[in-house]
Amino acid sequence: MSTTTTIIFLLLTTITTTIPTTHSKPPNYPCHPPHNTYPFCNTTLSLHLRAHSLLSLLSLSDKINRLSNNDTGIPHLGVPSYEWWSESLHGIASNGPGVSFSDGPVPAATGFPQVILTTSSFNRTLWGSIAAAVAVEGRAMYNVGQAGLTFWAPTINIFRDPRWGRGQETAGEDPMVASVYAVEYVSGFQGGRVEMVGGGKRGGRRRVLIDGGGGDGGGEELMVSACCKHFTAYDLEKWGAYARYNFNAIVTKQDMQDTYEPPFRSCIQEGKASCLMCSYNAVNGIPACADRSLLQKARTQWGFNGYIASDCDAVATIYEYQNYTKSPEDAVAVALKAGTDINCGTYMLRHTKDAVDKGKVEEEVIDKALLNLFTVQLRLGLFDGNPLKGKFGKLGPANVCTSDHKKLALEAVRQGVVLLKNDNKFLPLQKSSVSSLAVIGPMANATDGLGGGYTGVPCSPTSIVEGLKRYVKKTTFSSGCLDVACTSNAGFAEAVSISQEADFVIVVAGLDLSQETEDHDRFSLLLPGYQTGLVATIAAKSKKPIVLVLTGGGPLDVSFAQHDPRVASIIWVGYPGEAGGRALAEIIFGDHNPSGKLPVTWYPESFTKVPMSNMNMRPDRSHNYPGRTYRFYTGDVVYGFGHGLSYSNYTYNILSAPNSLKVIKSLKTKSNNILQRKEGLHNYLYVDELEEHCDSLRFQVEISVTNHGPFDGSAVVMVFARAPGSFKGAPLKQLVEFERVHTVSYKDTKMTILVDSCKHLSIVNKFGRSILPLGDHTLLLDGIEHIVSIVM
Ligand SMILES: *[C@@H]1O[C@H](CO)[C@@H](O)[C@H](O)[C@H]1NC(C)=O
Ligand SMILES: *[C@@H]1O[C@H](CO)[C@@H](O)[C@H](O)[C@H]1NC(C)=O
Ligand SMILES: *[C@@H]1O[C@H](CO)[C@@H](O)[C@H](O)[C@H]1NC(C)=O
Ligand SMILES: *[C@@H]1O[C@H](CO)[C@@H](O)[C@H](O)[C@H]1NC(C)=O
Ligand SMILES: *[C@@H]1O[C@H](CO)[C@@H](O)[C@H](O)[C@H]1NC(C)=O
Ligand SMILES: *[C@@H]1O[C@H](CO)[C@@H](O)[C@H](O)[C@H]1NC(C)=O
């Protein structure tokens, strides 16, 4: 997942040195005099020693009391309560009990777009910058007692099925994209890669680079803690008899290795996440939080240094829904022994004592869990005394909802919005030629619904109607349907009548959380209720063709609109968050050139015949199973992965790339052991046997992007590869690299991407092992093909 350009994160956040206001309540903290003489409070000692020192002072019951998200504190050591559960998926969110917007001086936090829309920008810098901004707001809210320091984001599961209610929270269907997103989020968030600009005492500006060190340096210190969730193969809420609590995901070795696992591996190896969350579902018969080999793999193979939290009540579900154990105590014992360090919920509080008494789990196992928990708390500085005097102590209410953060939220929507259709360059609308506008649809005048799942209270939300009114004073609105479910067409007449009076009509259709959310998958990919009728009716009756704006995170089958010439343009805005209304209007009126690309395949309604419970990525023709995602699915699509138009027309060229690469056998290494293997007629090598030879198999591809239009704009360059031969289960193609580049109207822009054959051109065989096929690999760039032959 190497980045080709060196990305320097300098979030130019203007951080004033405001001390949190007096009416805010500072967080309670341990190591407050007279409780500051314990070795665990002594900052000159190693974290290892300090964690062991704390542990050594605890009785068994003290220890058991630490095994819940709601840690009620250790009064005899002066350790106050600590709530582990705070949420920060795309802004500080109210979902966890650790965050409060009502009890303190911070009433709101910046509402960035839901992750699926931010992903559409395919801009790594943006992803990391948002995470860094959310981290500042989180630490600032902690300082006034309104948030914890341990946040349970990002959600890095693969968006495997279009019906999934939480697909919106993810970075889409491609494992490489999800991996890059995970790394950017976690390193941006934990590392505190923030340049603080503070007012110096004498008015001079003082720059302080806060380096939390959690980023790439492998440092120990954390500004805030991020959590890679949900490990693993979790992407079903409720479908038929299946619920996330009892679901047993049957996953092949091949799919595990090249689809489900990569984002987690990257999140930990490269992102250096300090938390991993195990999911409710079982994987091949073992509930994830009870699966020792799954959880330990993260520690032993990926170098995980952090704590493992169960999803909320996922320890209870081991017994109650998965029926994996005979008693609650067995569930607790198996989870602890597998490596679950803390239980979101109270199950461990209630059953661990009995489990120990009955000899089902040893106290040493609990000790290990607590050491993992304490170490993360120590890395966060929780035992370093007054947090307001620490490195991040100056962050406060003035660092939340800053104009820079709000601009970043706006920028994210501008970059993410996807133009799906634009007949005859209908958009952008000319400001001067629009004297009136009608805006139709149940979401058009809403602000609440635009955040998507896991939101907080946004700083200054704008509705779509408000955004458009900035451009056209005479903007009228009619909801057409009572709500997004749209179970009646009673409002159509009014909507038609205001549409007929306007120059231009924008219909806002799609989804909100009543249709797709946690615990709620969809059954259909069509627009809900009478929404299709609303769009078609307005399109037929308005003066001119209409613009259709789609909200929601999941793919929609809007083929009726795709084929209807009366629907001139279709724009997908996802859940755009607080700046959505404004950014959408800028795009519609040409003040911003859209450039987002779909990070997920938009399937037709017929896809709903596929059992959602089938985890296989690969097609199975004998069972009429079409496979999933652009890598394997061969059926029709409404809009494909990577689709997205712009007001410019871009063409691409491969300027240079090698035609062949040779795996050089060298005598001084063990390369003589590299064996050429065969599957059918095709030769391949094992990637794990190639090791240092991978260096000689790295190459550059020089690309030019030509902007043929009258607008400057950013283009998302995506290079895919197709492996030679017909290896069993090989993807149709897979993404090698992506890069968002700025281009100038009527000019060429050159860029270079780096391809690491071992990583990017390898595929996974049915035993879950990475292989590098020999022969002609095809690089694909927007219809251009280039062959790179790998030979021995
Ligand atoms: C902290 O530990 C160091 C090293 O053992 C010791 O010299 C120092 O006195 C300790 N400080 C306090 C306040 O106990
Ligand atoms: C945490 O536990 C304490 C003690 O049991 C209880 O009073 C409090 O309500 C709990 N807090 C939450 C958010 O559940
Ligand atoms: C687990 O047991 C409960 C109660 O005995 C039962 O209702 C449920 O169907 C079982 N679930 C599974 C996944 O076997
Ligand atoms: C649109 O929303 C605004 C702000 O919430 C509200 O004042 C107004 O009444 C709404 N308009 C309609 C027609 O519902
Ligand atoms: C884009 O521009 C090129 C070069 O002018 C032209 O050949 C091509 O037809 C254009 N494509 C579209 C979709 O307008
Ligand atoms: C990527 O995002 C950053 C941060 O918003 C922005 O400054 C940059 O211009 C974006 N890059 C492109 C090519 O759009």
Q: What is the pLDDT of residues 263-319, one digit of tens each?
A: 999 999 999 999 999 999 999 999 999 999 999 999 999 999 999 999 999 999 999
Q: How far, in Å, CA of 743 to CA of 713, rounded?
A: 5
Nearest residue by C-alpha to atom 1 in ligand 4: 445
In a domain, 43, yes or no: yes
Distance CA 587, CA 591 (A): 6
Read off the pLDDT of each residue in 756-785 and give the average, rounded to a whole number.
97
Q: Give per-residue pLDDT as tens, 365-407.
A: 999 999 999 999 999 999 999 999 999 999 999 999 999 999 9
d(CA 319, ligand 3 centre) in Å: 9
Which is the catalytic residue, given 311, 521, 557, 564? 311
* pTM of the full structure: 0.94
CB of 129 closer than 6 angstroms to any ligand 6 atom: yes
Q: Tell me which ligand sits closest to the C-alpha of residue 476.
A: 4
- Please name the residue ranges forming H helices in 417-568: 464-469, 492-501, 531-541, 559-562
Q: How high does pLDDT run on average in the chain? A: 93
Probe target for ligand 3 pocket from 246, 323, 325, with the most ligand atoms within 8 Å of CB: 323
Instruction: Tell me which residue has its CA closest to atom 8 in ligand 2.
Output: 70
Residue in 707, 507, 504, 506 with CA at minimum distance from that of residue 593: 707
Q: How far apart are the first and last CA of the chain?
A: 25
In what order do the strands lie in the sheet containing 784-791? 660-662, 784-791, 775-781, 713-722, 734-743
Q: Ligand 3 centroid to 513 CA: how many Å?
A: 29
Please say if 291 is a catalytic residue: no
Which residue reads 């789609």 in tokens? 550
CATH number, residue 580: 3.40.50.1700
Which residue puts its alpha carbon closest to atom 5 of ligand 3? 323
Secondary structure (3-state) at 242? strand
Q: Is residue 572 part of a domain?
A: yes
Site of tokens 């609303």: 534
Helix %, strand %, coil % of the chain (to 5): 30, 20, 50
Mean pLDDT, residues 773-790 taken together: 97
CB within 6 Å of ligand 2 — which residues? 70, 72, 97
Q: Which ligand is nearest to the CA of 241?
A: 3
Residue 706 in tokens: 């030509």
The verdict on residue 722 lying in a domain is: yes
Q: Are residues 325 and 421 in the same domain?
A: no
3-class state of residue 364 by DSSP: helix
Q: What is the pLDDT of residue 174?
A: 98
Angle at 359 between CA 355 and CA 361, to 5 degrees: 60
pLDDT of residue 192: 53
One domain, residues 340 and 398: no
- Whose tokens are 């946690």? That residue is 518
CA distance 687 to 677: 12
The pLDDT value recorded for residue 673 is 67
Instruction: Point out the ligand nearest to the CA of residue 39.
Output: 1
Judged by phi (left if over 0) then psi (alpha if -120 to 50, else beta), residue 424 lies in: left
How far is CA 707 from its chain centroid? 30
Closest atom of ligand 3 to 248 CA is 13
Domain that holds residue 389: 1-29+80-225+383-416
Residue 108 and residue 69 share a domain: no
Report the distance separating Cα 668 and Cα 453, nearest Å: 56
Q: Higher-confidence residue: 674 or 480?
A: 480
Q: What is the pLDDT of residue 600?
A: 98
Q: Which ligand is nearest to the CA of 581?
A: 4
Contact 462, 447 (CB under 8 A): yes
Question: Who's near 189: CB < 8 A, 6+ residues apart?
Answer: 88, 131, 132, 134, 135, 151, 153, 223, 224, 226
Judge whether 630 lies within some domain.
Answer: no
The residues facing 82 across adjacent strands are 71
Copy the structure tokens of residue 261: 């696992």
Residue nearest to atom 11 of ligand 4 (CA): 445
Distance 377 CA to ligand 2 centre (A): 20
Q: Which residue has the tokens 């634009």?
A: 422
Q: Are residues 404 and 426 in the same domain?
A: no
Give the per-residue pLDDT at 25: 75
178, part of any domain: yes
List the alpha helices (DSSP H) in 239-315: 253-255, 262-269, 292-300
Q: How many domains does the chain have?
A: 4
Rounded Cα gap, residues 766 and 726, in angstroms: 13
| End-of-domain residue from the set 395, 416, 437 | 416
578 shares a domain with 477:
yes
Which residue type sits at 713? G
Which residue's CA is the nearest one to ligand 3's atom 1? 323
Closest ligand to the CA of 36: 1
Whether residue 513 sits in one domain with residue 364: no
- Which among 28, 67, 68, 70 is the best mutation to test ligand 2's pocket, defined by most ligand atoms within 8 Å of the CB? 70
Query: For the chain, what's the residue count?
Result: 792
Residues 122-160: pLDDT tens digits? Answer: 999 999 999 999 999 999 999 999 999 999 999 999 999
Q: Is the CB of 45 under 6 A from ligand 1?
A: yes
Q: How many CA atoms lie within 13 A of 48 on its CB side?
A: 1
Q: Is the pLDDT of residue 3 over 50?
A: no
The four Cα atoms 280, 285, 290, 295 give a dihedral, to 10 degrees, of -90
**For ligand 6, what atom is nearest to the CA of residue 412?**
5
Query: Which residue type is seen at 664?
Result: I
Confidence of residue 28 (pLDDT cuts 50, 70, 90): confident
> Per the structure block, which two tokens stand in for 652?
């691409």
Peptide bond into 731 cis (omega under 30): no
Are 213 and 270 in a shared domain?
no
Provide the strand spans (E) within 326-469.
Answer: 418-422, 437-440
- Both tokens of residue 196? 């603080």
Assigned domain for 462 exists: yes
Does some domain include residue 306?
yes
Q: Give the tokens for residue 786.
A: 């280039």
Q: What distance in angstroms lies between residue 266's CA and the mean position of ligand 4's atoms?
A: 45
Same domain, 422 and 275: no
With a pLDDT cut of 70, the percent of the chain lying above it is 92
> Residue 731: which of 641, 640, 631 has the closest Cα?
631
Q: Which residues contact 687 (CB under 8 A, 6 or more apart)?
A: 694, 758, 762, 769, 770, 771, 772
- Say yes or no: CB of residue 646 within 6 Å of ligand 6: no
Q: pLDDT tens across 88-101, in order?
A: 999 999 999 999 99
In this structure, the answer to whether residues 433 and 493 fall within a common structural domain is: yes
Q: Using the mean position of ligand 3's atoms as its centre, give its distance from the Cα of residue 521 in Å.
A: 22
* Residue 83 alpha carbon, nearest atom of ligand 2: 13
State whether 464 and 491 are in the same domain.
Answer: yes
Closest ligand 2 atom to 70 CA: 1
- Cis amide bond preceding 428, omega within 30: yes
* 477 backbone φψ class: left, alpha, beta (φ>0; ψ -120 to 50): beta
Q: Which atom of ligand 3 is nearest to the CA of 246?
A: 13
Element (H, E) at 648: none
- pLDDT in the model for residue 670: 56
β-bridge partners, 198: 206
The best mutation among 445, 478, 481 to test binding of ligand 4, ranked by most ligand atoms within 8 Å of the C-beta, falls on 445
Close Cβ partners of 441 (under 8 Å, ≥ 6 residues apart): 479, 480, 481, 507, 508, 509, 534, 549
Summarised one tens digit per residue, pLDDT across range 182-212 is 999 999 999 855 444 333 333 333 333 444 4
Pairing label, strands 682-686, 677-679: antiparallel
Instruction: Show which of 367, 399, 416 is a domain's final residue.
Output: 416
Question: CB of 593 within 8 A of CB of 716?
Answer: no
pLDDT category of residue 715 using cuts at 50, 70 and 90: very high
Tell which one of 423, 706, 708, 745 to mutate to probe ligand 5, the residue whose CB is within 8 A of the most ligand atoms: 708
Distance CA 146, CA 105 (A): 9
Q: Are residues 352 and 253 in the same domain?
A: yes
Cα 171 from chain centre: 4
> In angstroms, rounded to a whole number, what is the distance separating the alpha carbons of residues 731 and 771?
13
381 C-alpha to ligand 2 centroid (Å): 24
Question: Are 256 and 208 in a shared domain?
Answer: no
pLDDT band at 220 (very low <50, low <70, confident <90, very high): confident
What distance in angstroms lies between residue 149's CA and the mean position of ligand 2's atoms? 18
Q: How far is the CA of 547 from the centre of ligand 5 (A)?
A: 23
Cα(744) to centroid(ligand 5), Å:
16
pLDDT score recorded for residue 20: 46
In the predicted model, what is the mean pLDDT of residues 664-675? Answer: 63
Q: Are 556 and 603 in contact (CB under 8 A)?
A: no
- The structure tokens listed for 12 are 């130019």
Assess if residue 233 is contained within a domain: no
The verdict on the CB of residue 708 being under 6 Å from ligand 5 is yes
Cis peptide before 154 (omega within 30 of 0): yes
User: Is 246 touching ligand 3 by the criterion CB < 6 Å?
Assistant: yes
Q: Is the peptide bond before 528 cis (omega within 30 degrees of 0)?
A: no
Tell me the C-alpha distance between 343 and 338, whole Å: 13
Other beta carbons within 10 angstroms of residue 169's beta carbon come to 26
Q: What is the DSSP letter of 699?
A: E
Measured CA to CA, the distance from residue 150 to residue 555 in angstroms comes to 32
Q: Which helix (H) or strand (E) holds 703?
A: strand 698-707
655: CATH: 2.60.40.10
Contact 761, 772 (CB under 8 A): yes
Question: Is residue 763 a contact partner of residue 771, using CB atoms and an 8 Å limit?
Answer: yes
DSSP string, 80-145: --EE--BB-BTB-BSSSTT--SSSSS------PPPHHHHHTT--HHHHHHHHHHHHHHHHHHHHTT
The amino acid occupying position 480 is G
